[in-house]
Amino acid sequence: MITTGQTTFTTTAAQLSDAVEKPVTRVTVKALAANANNLFVVSSAGGTAAKGYPLDAGEEVTVEVQKLGDVFIIADAAGQVAAWIATNRPVDQSSPDA
Contacts of 87 (CB under 8 A, 6+ apart): 1, 2, 3, 24, 25, 26
pLDDT in tens, 21-80: 788 899 999 999 999 999 999 988 898 999 999 999 999 999 999 988 899 999 999 999
Q: Does residue 92 sit within a domain?
A: no
* Residues 96, 98: Cα–Cα separation, whole Å: 6
What confidence score (pLDDT) does residue 60 get? 97
* Residues 31, 20: Cα–Cα separation, whole Å: 20
Q: Is the pLDDT of residue 95 over 90?
A: no
Domain enclosing residue 75, as ranges: 2-87
pTM of the prediction? 0.84
* Residues 66, 68: Cα–Cα separation, whole Å: 7
Q: Does residue 8 sit within a domain?
A: yes
Q: Does residue 61 sit within a domain?
A: yes
Q: Does residue 72 sit within a domain?
A: yes
* Residues 29, 84: Cα–Cα separation, whole Å: 5
What confidence score (pLDDT) does residue 93 get? 60
Q: Does residue 93 sit within a domain?
A: no
What confidence score (pLDDT) does residue 29 get? 97
SS3 string, 12-36, reads CCEECCCCCCCECCEEEEEECCCCC
